[in-house]
Structure 1
Amino acid sequence: MNTQLLKNSRKVLELILLEKHDDIDSSTRLEVENLLNQINAELEGKVPLRTTKREILEMFGTLLGVLHKGAELVDKILSVFNS
């Protein structure tokens, strides 16, 4: 895969983990960390495996789903307090 795309994806995934660490469940966090390790290994030329765009997009989709559920929960909690 394009090296610049991998670097950008790695940067975004790392930022999401840093900023939303507490909002992401442990299994999803582990999946993200594994994908980051795979990307790092590929960028360093240590593995013959290729990270696919599909893998990266699926991970972003998973993260968006987790963050969306968290936002919905916060909305519900806030509506209870505002009532």
Structure 2
Amino acid sequence: MEQLRHALASRPVIDQARGVLMALHSCTSDEAWHVLREASQLSNTKLRAVAAAVAAGADCDGPPPPPGIRVALRTALGRLRR
């Protein structure tokens, strides 16, 4: 039950991050999902934390993602374009 609550709470931030990636990188929703998932795996960071970093960084004065997540996102986005 707790896992379900956590999944429901995480969903909005993941959807926001997908929207940010779609807008900034002209990718589909599925491609954005794969980028988030791959960045999570590459950085050994929870998917929700990666999504929160992407969403927070979308604000004009928002902080950039931490270095490990930033590198993982760059790698995942690079693979998307191949």
Using the size of structure 2 for normalisation, the TM-score is 0.36
Indicate the structure (1 or 2) with the bigger Cα radius of gyration: 1
Q: Relative contact order (alpha carbons < 8 A, sep ≥ 6): 1 or 2 greater?
A: 1
Using the size of structure 1 for normalisation, the TM-score is 0.36
Larger relative helix fraction: 1
